[in-house]
Chain A
Amino acid sequence: MNIEIDKKEVLRYLGGTAKNNDQITDRLIDECIEEIKEISNPKSQYRIFDIKKNQNNIQILNSILILKGKDIIKHLIHSKKVAIMAVTLGIQVDQRIKYYGKTDLTKAVIFDACATTYIEEISDNLESEIKEIANQSNCNLTFRFSPGYGDFSLVVQDNILKVLNTSRIMGLTVSNEHILIPSKSVTAIIGFEDKSIKKPTGKVQKRADNEKCKTCLRYKNCIYLENGTFCEFRKKNL
């Protein structure tokens, strides 16, 4: 997998700008980017399923998975199929973050931000693969919707991993509290929508987009919304 870690994104995660970045930090970011690429063992996979919409949930056919919650139902409102995806950087990244947490906290924080950037980029990459498949059946994709967004409970994580058999294939597991381990991992559900579906534009769309921000984990503390802007994630996905 040849994916570059975007330094600008790393800075953004750290709350930095080109202006307040200094030489020492800049060099550390470069080092961490190199190191992550060296020690991580990224794994990703997805499967595509037909879905059946019930009154209070969405059933993923030919699997044990049932999706519950207003937000995921809204998210898949126009979808007829879904891709379920999982990505992980591997346990070595957690180990290294833990080690730097004891030896060099500055580096730990930067390393963590680089890892987050990297996994987002790998997820983007996987998504574009899925997009090609969607294109073939004349579909667009919804954005990636992950457990924990809005009222989409983290509990579903357990069954998502079972459906993808991630513990065996990618070493991706879940704790009793439904938290992904390794921690630098992502699971998400992407809907396939017919291209013929007309979506609102202009003001209506903007309101809808702001609405979507509410499904974000960081919505209540979002530093971007505070300043009247929004994050890269939304720019790409909404």
Chain B
Amino acid sequence: MEEIKIQYQKKVNYLSFVKKIFEEKNKKFILFDSAMGTTLQKMGLKAGEIPELFNFTHSDIILDIHKQNIKAGSDIIITNTFGANEIKLKGCKYSVEDVVQKAVSLARKAAGKKYVALDLGPTGQLLEPLGSLKFEQAYGLYKRQVIAGADAGADLIIIETISDLYEAKAAILAAKENSSLPVFCTMTFDQNGRTLTGTDPITMVNVLEGLGVDVIGINCSLGPKDILPIVDEILKYATIPVMVQPNAGLPEYVDGETVFNVSPEEFASFMGEIAKKGVRILGGCCGTTPEFIGILSDELKKIDPAVPEPVSFTCACSSTKTIIFNKNQPKIIGERINPTGNKIIKNALINQDYGEIINEAIVQKEAGADVLDVNIGLPEIDEPVIMVKLIKELQGIIDIPLQIDSANFEALEAGARIFNGKPILNSVTGKEKHMEQIFPIAKKYGACVIGLTMDEKGLPKTIEQRVEIAEKIINTANQYGIPKKNILIDCLVLTASTHQDQVLKSLKAMQIIKQKFGVTTVLGASNISFGLPRRDLINQTYMAMALTYGLDAPITDPLMPEIMETIFAYRVLSDIDKNSEDFISRYSNKQPEKLLLKEKTENSLSNIVIKGLLNQVEQKTLDLLKNTQPLSIIDNHLIPSLDIVGDMYDRGDIFLPQLIRSAETVKKAFKIIKSNMPHEQEKELTKGKILLATVAGDVHDIGKNIVKVLLENYGFNVVDLGKDVPIDSIVSACIEQNIKLVGLSALMTPTVENMKKTIEKLQKSDNECKIMVGGAVLNEKYANMINADYYGKDAREAVEIARKFFQNTK
């Protein structure tokens, strides 16, 4: 915690850097320099060569480019260290420190009294979950550059040409935690207005500003004309200085050369337009030269920049979506990821098998949740560790923001750090000690935080006490530098059955707090009905009341249709949904949502499976369960139908998508049967436990997932370790879970080598097990060569192998 406070105090010094230049030196603009990489190409840099090597082999050229820029009017020049990280320098004879030291000293030599910015470009690899570079590794790469750059005497750090918000976050944290230098960060956007990984300007501004950068902006990307709409968006939201360094137009490939087609004069003229809007830090990227900077410098003398007026609102962000809280559309925070009272989530957390939790996240999102609350509070797990693992899984699948919910402040910090976006922290109370713990976290990571109106004295009894506590929370947050827009107040819902007199009081307090302080409000709305019959009725009525009193975001169960219905009806009655357009388009010609029955059917279950009629299987299974034993449905209906489907597939009467659809249909039936079965009977279902994994280095997992569904269909219990699984993880999971049959998949030739190593290690381990393998690059011969016990050419064969294997072991 000590470390966080230190960071927070340093913040005061950071701000003065840009201010110092603007005010003390009485400058209207700060001018950066022109491109390094494209200039070096003209000077003989070979395609693919490491540009940073020029610091050593052609230091005169580098020095000259820097000097020309200074002469042209640059206030800040950028070191030739764009790719000076361990990954990109791999195999080269200079270390990161050598390169950074040399590059900074060259820039320093040219800069004189002007400033030197340490350049940090992208790592060159894509971060998890879609790539393989871990967030922590990316942080480590940047940390090394930052320490070297600060030691070498850089004046500031510029993180630039970043496409991936997560990478920007890793770089910013590395810069701020390992130096006291000012941090500038610019991302690169595509013509569609988003970065290549899908971040839009509003999200970039809200996330990166929150992380405490001094300057934010855009570079590279497009020419100065095409970049305008993106600049406008950034200016709309940014409350810190904005920086723009475009290319000299879009690159074109002519006669073997990359050319940029905007002239220095055109460039300066468009940049003048950008400057007028209030962008006060400017420079050039690919295709620009010192000549561009010189002409731009003259152009800027004629311009007086406008003072941007950014809009302010409360929001949470994923890496690609910003959810703005406003009263026009109450936002739903899904509450279902919580082990309290939910056995499935509880078991998933204990077994670290996150599949069920991901499903819970998906169904909530699809039901209309805008944000997902993530609570993993169980005494038997290491909360900070599991929080990190789970958030990584969730953000790989779900594109909506997360609300990190924990009483353990270490878990809150771990979650806020690893989350790719701007999270909400749930929660802080008015207790001094509590605020001391939570606010530095919210400040450091730029998170929103929910303030509960309770303090050392416990739950308040009166409206006034609630308002007082809210005020205390808002004011204390302000002392930590947390703006009001990042505070959401929760007036606490007490159950009507025990605290009936408090129900209206908390709503009235919420109304006053909202009016008086202008903060966003949330309520954990489901507790209200606890202990009463017809909870749906109480919940629905309470929701309507709370919305009327000004609730912005209920924390609730989005799978309860009446909650969504109430919100849409409320928007009609409060004149928000003009002409009831949204309501009509959603509900006209429709039955109430909860009465929407699953499709009735005359088909037999067998037919439903064979045809893969997913929407009919639920009702049919439920019907059958009324007078058939669960096990009998499985053995006499599902499995024989699956066999028929399998034969049809083998004959070519159906093809892969149909086979999978049938398998998914059976999966759905299984789920219903299981939930209708006494626990002791569930064990009889299991025909054997199988571990599946795609081996290290391999990121393809569709094939493995198909095998998994089919195996589960036939009653096997599948432990799925996912894709790109390290050898040791597979071996230790096999030992821990006493696995007798392992299925490994590899899709690429080079990863077959990892498969071979995995098999070797498994066979040497104490756990005796058999191994089946499959995947596009394998065949029977190959499988033998790498010592696998079985080869399955497709999912059907995997099932046959498993069936025989477990029959024999019995």
Bound CA span A41–B163, Å: 14
CB neighbours (8 Å) of A99 from chain B are 362, 397
- Give B245 Cβ to nearest chain A Cβ, in Å: 14
- Residues of chain A in range 98-132 having any CB-CB distance to chain B below 8 Å: 98-99, 101-106, 108-110, 112
CB neighbours (8 Å) of A217 from chain B are 749, 776-777
B190, A41: Cβ atoms closer than 8 Å: yes
The 8 Å CB contact of B664, one of A17, A65, A106, is A106
Q: Is A171 an interface residue (CB 8 A)?
A: yes
B196, A41: Cβ atoms closer than 8 Å: yes
CB neighbours (8 Å) of A174 from chain B are 125
Q: Is A210 an interface residue (CB 8 A)?
A: no
Bound CA span A167–B698, Å: 20
Closest B residue to A92 using CB positions: B198
B697, A154: Cβ atoms closer than 8 Å: no
B253, A109: Cβ atoms closer than 8 Å: no
The 8 Å CB contact of A106, one of B660, B778, B782, is B660
- Residues of chain B in range 599-657 having any CB-CB distance to chain A below 8 Å: 612, 652-657
- Give B555 Cβ to nearest chain A Cβ, in Å: 24
**Most chain B beta carbons < 10 A, residue from A15, A20, A177:** A177
Q: Is B124 an interface residue (CB 8 A)?
A: yes
- Give B81 Cβ to nearest chain A Cβ, in Å: 15
Closest B residue to A170 using CB positions: B196
B698, A106: Cβ atoms closer than 8 Å: no
CB neighbours (8 Å) of A58 from chain B are none
Given known A-B contacts A62-B47, A64-B47, A171 and B163 have beta carbons under 8 A apart = yes
Closest B residue to A94 using CB positions: B130
Given known A-B contacts A41-B196, A48-B256, A179-B697, A108 and B46 have beta carbons under 8 A apart = no
Which DSSP category, helix, strand, loop or mixed, fits chain B's interface?
A: loop
Closest A residue to B663 using CB positions: A105
A181, B130: Cβ atoms closer than 8 Å: yes
- Residues of chain A in range 138-166 having any CB-CB distance to chain B below 8 Å: 148, 154, 159, 162-165
Stretch at the interface among B173-181, B577-585, B699-707: B699-707
Q: Mark B478-493, 1 if CB is under 8 A from A, else 0.
A: 0000000000000000
Bound CA span A117–B13, Å: 55
Closest A residue to B703 using CB positions: A109
Bound CA span A159–B46, Å: 12
Closest B residue to A29 using CB positions: B657
The 8 Å CB contact of A167, one of B124, B697, B699, B782, is B124
User: Chain B: how many interface residues by the 8 Å CB criterion?
Assistant: 65
B48, A64: Cβ atoms closer than 8 Å: yes
CB neighbours (8 Å) of B129 from chain A are 98
User: Chain A: how many interface residues by the 8 Å CB criterion?
Assistant: 65
Q: Is B359 an interface residue (CB 8 A)?
A: yes
- Give A228 Cβ to nearest chain B Cβ, in Å: 16
Q: Mark B351-369, 1 if CB is under 8 A from A, else 0.
A: 0000100110010001000
CB neighbours (8 Å) of B750 from chain A are 154, 177-179
The 8 Å CB contact of A179, one of B399, B654, B699, B779, is B699
A177, B748: Cβ atoms closer than 8 Å: yes
A97, B702: Cβ atoms closer than 8 Å: yes
A20, B130: Cβ atoms closer than 8 Å: no
B124, A106: Cβ atoms closer than 8 Å: no
CB neighbours (8 Å) of A21 from chain B are 655
Q: Is A28 an interface residue (CB 8 A)?
A: yes
CB neighbours (8 Å) of B197 from chain A are 91, 171
The 8 Å CB contact of A16, one of B49, B132, B656, B700, is B656
- Give A2 Cβ to nearest chain B Cβ, in Å: 16
Q: Is A191 an interface residue (CB 8 A)?
A: no
Bound CA span A102–B256, Å: 44
Q: Mark B658-676, 1 if CB is under 8 A from A, else 0.
A: 1011011000000000000
CB neighbours (8 Å) of B396 from chain A are 98
A154, B657: Cβ atoms closer than 8 Å: no
A105, B130: Cβ atoms closer than 8 Å: no
Q: Mark A14-33, 1 if CB is under 8 A from B, else 0.
A: 11110011101100100000
Bound CA span A148–B658, Å: 31
Given known A-B contacts A109-B706, A168-B161, A171-B197, A181 and B131 have beta carbons under 8 A apart = yes
Q: Mark A74-89, 1 if CB is under 8 A from B, else 0.
A: 0000000000000000
B702, A109: Cβ atoms closer than 8 Å: yes
9 examples of A-B residue contacts, CB within 8 angstroms = A25-B658, A25-B661, A49-B256, A63-B46, A90-B196, A112-B702, A175-B697, A177-B754, A183-B700
B contact set with A: CB distance below 8 Å:
46-49, 122, 124-126, 129-132, 161, 163, 190, 192, 196-198, 220, 251, 253, 256, 355, 358-359, 362, 366, 396-397, 399, 612, 652-658, 660-661, 663-664, 696-702, 705-706, 709, 748-751, 754, 776-779, 781-782, 793
Question: Which 5 interchain pairs have the tightest Cβ spacing?
Answer: A177-B697, A171-B196, A63-B47, A162-B48, A163-B48
A contact set with B: CB distance below 8 Å:
14-17, 20-22, 24-25, 28, 41, 45-49, 60, 62-65, 90-92, 94-95, 97-99, 101-106, 108-110, 112, 148, 154, 159, 162-165, 167-171, 173-179, 181-183, 217-218, 220-221
Known: A102-B397, A109-B706, A220-B779. 18 other contacts (CB 8 A): A14-B657, A20-B653, A20-B654, A49-B47, A63-B47, A101-B701, A105-B709, A106-B657, A109-B656, A154-B749, A159-B48, A168-B122, A171-B163, A177-B132, A177-B754, A179-B750, A217-B749, A217-B776
